[in-house]
Amino acid sequence: MTLHRRQFLAQLTGLCASLGLSRLADGQQDRPPRILLRSSWQTVNIGDVAHSPGVMRLLYDHIPDVEVTLWPGNIGNGVEEMLRRNFPELIIANTAAKRADAFERCDLLLHGSGPYLVAQKHVAEWREKTGKPYGIYGITLSRLDDQSRSLINDARFIYFRDTISLAFAKEAGLTCPVMEFGPDGAFAMDCRNDAAAVEFLEQHKLEDGRFLVVIPRLRYTPYWRIKKNRPINEDRHAVNEKLKESDHGKIREAVIAFVRQTGMKVLLCPEDETHMQIGREMILERLPEDVRKQTVWREDFWLPDEAISTYRQALALLSMDMHSPIMAVGNGTPAIHCRFEEQTSKGQMWNDIGLGDWLFDLDEEQDGSNITREVLKIAAAPQMARARVAEAMQFVHQRQQATMVTLRDQLPT
């Protein structure tokens, strides 16, 4: 029997209504997918701040209508305001009641980027209380205990931000169904504060594309200087004191050559709250007078949105910390990273994305000559260096897209 158009539409409407009522009865009415992001570890380091907005950007860009709830560790010191300016739809579960509601409402827990499985006990809590899926995004892994092994095996996916961690996981016999390389979330950090950056750059006569950003650091972050009631770690302090001159001396060589051979300026700035003092003591005050006159020392800490707006204007970065290079490259600016044994394997990321000749191990470099060579190569051919960054980021974007496809597949349709 042939149905008239009006009859067909009436029956179709009835069917849709019936299905809708059924879904309502099951508590599955049409709604956006809901993700609980466990991230925002601390605010004393702009890299730790940048993890969260980077992952948020990926979620909002790749998953239509997604509802993101942030379960933060610390979003003080202006970080919450920065997040709300850039992600007005973001929900922040910063109380016990809001977290309980998020456990009820959200479909999936996503553990954000970090140096290890930072929120291990909270992932375990999610698994125990909800039985819902969870995934781990962009971490380094170098050790396991029974709980972390169990949590990773039960995850729907885990992305390692460096291939050394991925190899470790495979050798350890972990059985998570998806274990792959996935770039650190900070690569996608795109929050900006152009007004603050322009004001600072103009004040110090730093011209677009004509200054080198330099970021110092000690072997171990001296948290005892910046966190209340944190006792000094005498062993780590001794390592810092022993190696700080040989490490920073190699950076100073590059700074001196850069200023004298290019006539451009240098900006000394921080990635964490201890770097202002280190930069002044170990670089600025030990430069020759002619180079010191061309060096600007930033004495105040900042948020990553102003840092990114500054990095975008720089010729390049030379950094002893990792996440400023990540944010710089993520926003198109070349970056050289100098690592050492006391850091995790995260520096391997530069090899993984095709920038290995911009990665230097300070334990292997006898002096600063190789670092200087690469800095001057970038200065001599800045467009070529930026083309290399674009090529590396094309690979990063491909991996980001693949990770988001996997994540989306774990969400209700």
pLDDT tens, residue order, the chain (413 aa): 343 433 433 444 344 433 333 333 344 558 999 999 999 999 999 999 999 999 999 999 999 899 999 999 999 999 999 999 999 999 999 999 999 999 999 999 999 999 999 999 999 999 999 999 999 999 999 999 999 999 999 999 999 999 999 999 999 999 999 999 999 999 999 999 999 999 999 999 999 999 999 999 999 999 999 988 899 999 999 999 999 999 999 999 999 999 999 999 999 999 999 999 999 999 999 999 999 999 999 999 999 999 999 999 999 999 999 999 999 999 999 999 999 999 999 999 999 999 999 999 999 999 999 999 999 999 999 999 999 999 999 999 999 999 999 999 999 97
Q: How far apart are CA 141 and CA 191, in angstroms?
A: 28
Count Cβ atoms below 10 Å from residue 120 Cβ, excluding itself: 15
Fold of domain 194-380: Rossmann fold (3.40.50)
* CA dist 103 → 43, 75, 100, 122 (Å): 25, 20, 5, 11
Task: Give the pLDDT of residue 29.
Answer: 58
Cβ–Cβ under 8 Å, residues 404 and 63: yes
Count CA atoms closer than 13 A to 261's CA, side-chain side: 15
- Parts of the chain belonging to CATH 3.40.50.2000: 34-188+397-409, 194-380
Task: Give the pLDDT of residue 11.
Answer: 45
String of DSSP letters for 52-84: HHHHHHHHHHHSTT-EEEEEES--TTTHHHHHH
The residue with tokens 């069917």 is 15
Q: How far apart are CA 369 and CA 42, in angstroms?
A: 35
CATH 3.40.50.2000 for domain 34-188+397-409, yes or no, is: yes
Q: φ, ψ for residue 215 (rounded to 5)? A: -125, 120
Strands 67-72 and 91-92: parallel
Cβ–Cβ under 8 Å, residues 140 and 166: no
Helix-strand-coil split of the chain, %, nearest 5: 50, 15, 35
Instruction: Please name the residue ranges forming H helices in 75-175.
Output: 79-86, 96-105, 120-130, 146-154, 163-171
Residue 318 per-residue DSSP state: E
